A and B are shown apart, each in its own frame.
Chain A
Amino acid sequence: MSDSVLDVARSPLALLAVTLAGYQAGRWIQQRTGGHALAQPVLVAIIVTGAAISVLDVDYPDYRSATELIAFWLGPATVALAVPLHRQADRLKGFVVPLLVAVVVGAAVSITSAVLLARALGAGETLERTLSTKAATTPVAIALTEHLGGIAPLAAVFAIIIGIFSAITAPAVLTLLRIRDRRARGLAVGAVSHGIGASRMLREDETEGAFAGLSMGLSALAISLLVPLLALVLW
């Protein structure tokens, strides 16, 4: 009897339900706290779901394939980032050159600094390589890390951790840095924390969200091109 209950609890349907429920719990907390920065639904959902699969003793690869249905929508949602950008396209005027230069500079800085900081603190070379791609959106981070000889699924975890950290802290940090142009704010967040950062900016302001989405895309390109070049110098 208890075995068959456990089987249901470990079924793909139950794992999907836990993931959705964790996300709903996160949204509920976000609403109850008046949109407090710490209450990012993705963070709450990862804690709830992570705890659930640990208790149920479900292996992560099994969980991952059970929730493919949810992960699938990341692709179309990324395509959809064209929508806020289209609605904000007038704001591109006079900003194209600063935008492109800033994205390239940012990609070089974030790759190099991640590797050098990790090295200074005694991380092994595999970990250095895995950390180098963390600013890119998860599919790019995974593909690049595989190519570099790092640990690809861990690269995705790093990208998501820094995305959540950024979603919580970036707006306040940008204000401290006196970056007050909404275009530049979105650009900076998209460049260092991809879609998760962009999702926070979309909640704050459409211009910030639109530029974060564009920046995420351009940064994915810049990081993909720069990582193999910088790898020649860094290792």
Chain B
Amino acid sequence: MIAGLTWLVGFQLVGELIVQVADLPVPGPVVGMLLLFVLLRVRRYDDEGSIVRAGTALLRHLQLFFIPAGVGVVAYLGVLGRDALPIGVALIGSWLLGLVAVGWTAVGLERLSGRPRDDLPAGGTT
């Protein structure tokens, strides 16, 4: 477990370094994720390895790590209440348009290339 966490922190560190040195507009962990993906592919890493076990354990509790930032909502209840309508409509409206844009673009391009997939059980809603 600790070995795996050490690897994850190490990849985050390398990600942060690359972001600083190359002045990239993305966070270090995102670069670390892409680097780790390449390493796992190249090494044909298997499911018993420490990185997979530690990573799976962390991801099971991904929501926990958002709580400290999310509690910030109490500091902005005033703003949220005053501008509730524009905020609510902009958040949800743009979320829905984005979801439709990504989903339909991906599915549409798959159809054009003649390889559409249907993974859901018929009539089911997951």
- Among residues 104 to 126 in chain B, which have CB atoms less than 8 Å away from a CB atom of chain A? 104-110, 113, 115-120, 125-126
Q: How far is the CA of A126 from the CA of B25 in the complex (A)?
A: 21
DSSP class of B's interface residues: helix, strand, loop or mixed?
Answer: helix
A181, closest chain B residue (CB):
B117
Asked if residues A79 and B29 are in contact (CB atoms below 8 Å), the reply is: yes
Q: Say whether A110 contacts B97, CB under 8 Å.
A: yes
Number of residues in B with C-beta < 8 Å to the partner? Answer: 81
With contact pairs A83-B55, A94-B113, A110-B94 given, residues A54 and B74 touching in the complex (Cβ less than 8 Å): yes
**Roughly how many angstroms separate A71 CA and B75 CA in the complex, as a whole number?**
18
Interface string of A148-177 (1 = CB under 8 A from B): 000101101110111111110011111101
B71 adjacent to A50 (CB under 8 Å): yes
Cβ B119 vs Cβ A182 within 8 A: yes
**Is A13 among interface residues, defined by CB-CB distance under 8 A?**
no
Residue A230 interfacial (CB < 8 Å): no
**Distance, CA A87 to CA B45, complexed state (A):** 9
Per-position binary interface string of chain A over residues 38-49, scored 1 when its CB falls under 8 Å from any chain B CB and 0 otherwise:
001110011001
Chain A nearest Cβ from B41, distance in angstroms: 6
- Chain A contributes a number of interface residues (CB within 8 A of B) equal to 120
**Listed residue (B67, B79, B85) with the most chain A CB atoms within 10 angstroms of its CB:** B67
Q: What sequence of 0s and 1s flags, for each residue 103-114 of chain A, a beta carbon within 8 Å of any chain B beta carbon?
A: 101110111011
Q: Determine how close the nearest CB of chain A comes to the CB of B13; give it in whole angstroms.
A: 9
Residues on A lying within 8 angstroms of B by beta carbon are: 19-20, 22-23, 26, 40-42, 45-46, 49-50, 53-54, 60, 63-64, 67-68, 70-71, 73-87, 89, 94-95, 97-99, 101-103, 105-107, 109-111, 113-115, 117-118, 121-123, 127, 131, 134-135, 137-140, 143-144, 151, 153-154, 156-158, 160-167, 170-175, 177, 179-185, 187-189, 191-193, 195-196, 198-199, 202, 204-205, 207, 209, 213, 215-217, 220-221, 224-225
